[in-house]
Each structure stands twice: as C-alpha cells, then as structure tokens.
C-alpha cells in the first residue's frame, strides 16, 4: 500500500517538515535531560504566548496518557467525570482515566453530533447526590469531537455555567484542538480559558509530530505536583527535547494552524465531491478534518480492494480522515474511484 492511499487516520501521516527540521536542530548539541533543556522552555513559553496567559505546560508521549493524567489531577478516586458516551476517554483508552485516578468513574452523557449538552450534564449531576454514588468533580469535552464536530464558544459558555453551578472542573480532550481552532476561526483562548476550560490536552501527534502532547493547565492550582504524576506514570521523557523541539517547529509561524487548515480544507473537498452521489449520505455535519459518510457495503469492499484504507465507525459509516499530508490528488483519485462505483 502506498502511504497516501488512505483516509484511515490523521495519525497515519508522517512528521511535517517544520517539526522534522526543529528536531534536527535540537540534535546538534548536548542538552540537559528531563525537560531542563532550552527547547522545552521555548516550547512551553510558546504555548503560553499562543494562549496569551500564564498557564502551566507539560509534555507527555501520547493522548491517552495526557487525558488520563490530567483527569487524575482533577479529582480523587471517589469522584466521577462526566463525558459524552462517544468520548475517546470512554471508548478508546482502555480504562486509562479510571486507572490513573485509582478508580474515578466516567459518567456517560448524551447529545447530538457527539456533543455533551448542559441538560445532560445537569441530569447526571443531580440524578444522585448520596454517599453511595461517586461524586461528579469534572466534565470532559472533546474539541473537535470524535465525530468531527465542534463546540462553539457559546456552547462552551453554557457548559461552563452548569459546571459553575455544580463546582465541576472542565477538561478538554484536544486531540484535534488545532482543527477546531481552524474551523471556528477563533483565538485559541476563546475556546479554552476564556470559556472556563481548566486543563487542555493539546495534541501534536495528529497535527504533524511523531509524538508528543502538551498538557496545558489554565487552572494552575490543578497542576500541583503534576511532574511527579508524569514521572510515576512513565511519561517523563529523559530526552525531552525530542518532543519539545518539534513543538517549537509547529508553533513558529503558526505551522500548527496551517496544518489544521490544510487538513480541514481537504476534508471539505472530499465532502463536496461525495455530496449528491447516489447511495451516499453524510452521517454528521463535516466541520473539521473528517468526513463521516454512509457508503454502500459493496462499494466499501471494492474501494478496499483498490487499496484504499479507512475505518468504519458507529453503525458502519465510513470515517475518512485528512491530515497535513493529505493531497488534493489523493482526494481526486479517491473521488474518481467512488464515482466509478456509484455510477
Ligand atoms: C487520537 C485521540 C486521542 C489520543 O490517542 P493516543 O492514541 O493515546 O495518542 C485522544 N482523544 C481523541 C478524541 C483522539 O482522537
């Protein structure tokens, strides 16, 4: 399979050139270990300046660790975390958040298009308040969601209002945070700390790094002793600069945003090309870099026979993901194959 014949995931993509160059630059000298190096300082300062606030920043290897450790830092083992039933922390982290917190329970909420509603949160918090039930302490929103939709700043403010009423902290799973910023065309602060988000897990991996996620605490009190939590969990990279230097590459000249805009635009091209073809129906509104689409079963089989890779999601719809490395040629080849099979 040629690498480009896929819409399976944004993490099938390679490392973007700017991140690769920064890694090469970091490789020219020796530097202190365990995050005491100049690159890590620069990357953390870069994120503080990006968010325009004095946040605490930590780098870990992957998203599961970032989410699990961030959530563990919010509560105790007897607490609970409210999230959408489709949330990655529920469906794809193998119980990582529960494990890292020594047992905090996830309470599953609902809402259209993968988005938790204030009503659903309210229902879960007020359903039980007795000593026999784990006390809700946090809620988690995924921005952009698992089904490629985004929370608007207004929606986040409404969620914050419920959170305030019930003293809940807000965690944001930002595996595709960059794509959400690009789609909403807002300053990153508008959908994080200005909307009352306490901690953000900002993915570099899906944006164009080899690995490395930033855990960004806007509520700095929650970050107390977080470095020990990371170390104990095996998430403190000794050669940290190989995570943080590529982050510097993403932050410089807003490469992270360009990558996200490119991926979103590719998905839009894909969506436009699929629209209106017989037997094809969009499953969710396309807002970021993924198109969720119902394709006839025989068409899916034939596309796979022709070498195309993509995942099936929720009730069999195909998930077509784009990344910084997706090309227009690749999209047009895929659309030509789809049209020939739909005709
Ligand atoms: C990819 C992804 C993650 C992180 O996954 P890892 O494989 O642990 O890096 C977290 N949340 C969402 C919504 C994701 O899509």
Tell me the per-residue pLDDT of 41-78, one tens digit each, with 9 for 90 and over: 999 999 999 999 999 999 999 999 999 999 999 999 99
Average pLDDT over residues 34-39: 98
pLDDT at 4 over 70: no
- Closest Cα to atom 9 of ligand 1: 63
Enumerate residues lining ligand 1, CB below 6 A.
Answer: 62-64, 88, 142, 146, 173, 175, 205-206
Domain residue limits, the chain: 3-12+256-342, 17-254
- Closest Cα to atom 2 of ligand 1: 175
The CATH number fitting domain 3-12+256-342, selected from 3.40.50.150, 3.30.1330.90, 3.90.1150.10, 3.60.15.10: 3.90.1150.10
Which atom of ligand 1 is least distant from the CA of 146?
Answer: 13
CA angle, residues 100, 102, 103, in degrees to nearest 5: 110
Testing ligand 1's pocket by substitution, the residue of 88, 147, 208, 214 carrying the most ligand atoms inside 8 A of its CB is 88
Encoded tokens for 100: 């890292």
How far apart are the C-alpha atoms of 49 and 69, rounded to whole Å? 24
pLDDT at 1 over 50: no
Average pLDDT over residues 285-297: 96
Share of the chain above pLDDT 70, in %: 99
Distance 63 CA to ligand 1 centre (A): 5
Q: What are phi and psi of 239, to 5 degrees?
A: -90, 60
Residue range 193-251, pLDDT digits in tens: 999 999 999 999 999 999 999 999 999 999 999 999 999 999 999 999 999 999 999 99
SS3 content of the chain, % helix, strand, coil (to 5): 45, 15, 35
**pLDDT for position 320:** 98
Strands (E), 186-271: 199-203, 213-217
Testing ligand 1's pocket by substitution, the residue of 59, 203, 209 carrying the most ligand atoms inside 8 A of its CB is 203
pLDDT at 115 over 60: yes
The region of weakest confidence among 121-130, 148-157, 310-319 is 310-319
- Model pTM? 0.97
- Spatial neighbors of 331 by CB under 8 A, at least 6 apart, are 266, 269, 270, 273, 322
How far apart are the C-alpha atoms of 103 and 78, rounded to whole Å? 7
How far apart are the C-alpha atoms of 210 and 237, rounded to whole Å? 14
Structure-token match 């780098």, residue found: 59
Residue range 304-317, pLDDT digits in tens: 999 999 999 877 79
Please state, rounded to an integer, the average pLDDT across all residues of the chain. Answer: 96
CATH dotted code for 17-254: 3.40.640.10
Average pLDDT over residues 116-141: 97
- Spatial neighbors of 338 by CB under 8 A, at least 6 apart, are 273, 274, 277, 280, 295, 299, 303
- Spatial neighbors of 109 by CB under 8 A, at least 6 apart, are 82, 83, 84, 85, 116, 117, 120, 121, 123, 124
């Amino acid at each position: 399979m040629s690498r480009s014949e896929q819409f399976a995931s944004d993490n099938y993509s390679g490392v973007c050139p700017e991140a690769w160059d920064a890694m090469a630059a970091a490789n020219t000298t020796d530097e202190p270990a365990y995050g005491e190096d100049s690159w890590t300082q620069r990357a953390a300062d870069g994120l503080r300046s990006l968010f325009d606030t004095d946040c605490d920043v930590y780098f870990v290897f992957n998203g599961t660790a970032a989410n699990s450790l961030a959530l563990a830092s919010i509560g105790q083992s007897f607490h609970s975390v409210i999230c959408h039933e489709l949330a990655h922390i529920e469906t794809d982290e193998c119980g990582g958040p529960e494990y890292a917190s020594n047992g905090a329970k996830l309470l599953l909420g609902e809402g259209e298009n993968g988005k938790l509603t204030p009503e659903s949160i309210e229902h879960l918090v007020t359903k039980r308040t007795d000593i026999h039930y784990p006390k809700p302490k946090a809620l988690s929103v995924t921005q952009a969601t698992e089904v490629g939709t985004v929370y608007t700043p207004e929606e986040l403010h409404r969620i914050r209002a419920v959170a305030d009423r019930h003293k809940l902290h807000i965690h944001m799973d930002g595996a595709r945070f960059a794509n959400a910023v690009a789609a909403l065309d807002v300053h990153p602060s508008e959908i994080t700390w200005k909307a009352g988000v306490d901690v953000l897990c900002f993915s570099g991996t899906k944006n164009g790094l080899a690995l490395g996620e930033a855990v960004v605490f806007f509520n700095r009190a929650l970050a107390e002793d977080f470095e020990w939590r990371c170390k104990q969990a095996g998430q403190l990279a000794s050669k940290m600069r190989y995570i943080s230097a590529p982050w510097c590459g993403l932050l410089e000249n807003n490469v992270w945003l360009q990558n996200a805009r490119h991926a979103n635009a590719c998905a839009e091209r894909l969506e436009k090309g699929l629209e209106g073809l017989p037997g094809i129906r969009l499953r969710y509104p396309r807002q970021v870099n993924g198109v969720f689409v119902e394709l006839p079963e025989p068409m899916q089989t034939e596309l796979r026979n022709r070498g195309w890779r993509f995942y099936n999601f929720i009730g069999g719809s195909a998930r077509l993901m784009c990344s910084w490395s997706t090309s227009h040629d690749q999209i047009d080849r895929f659309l030509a194959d789809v049209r020939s099979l739909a005709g």
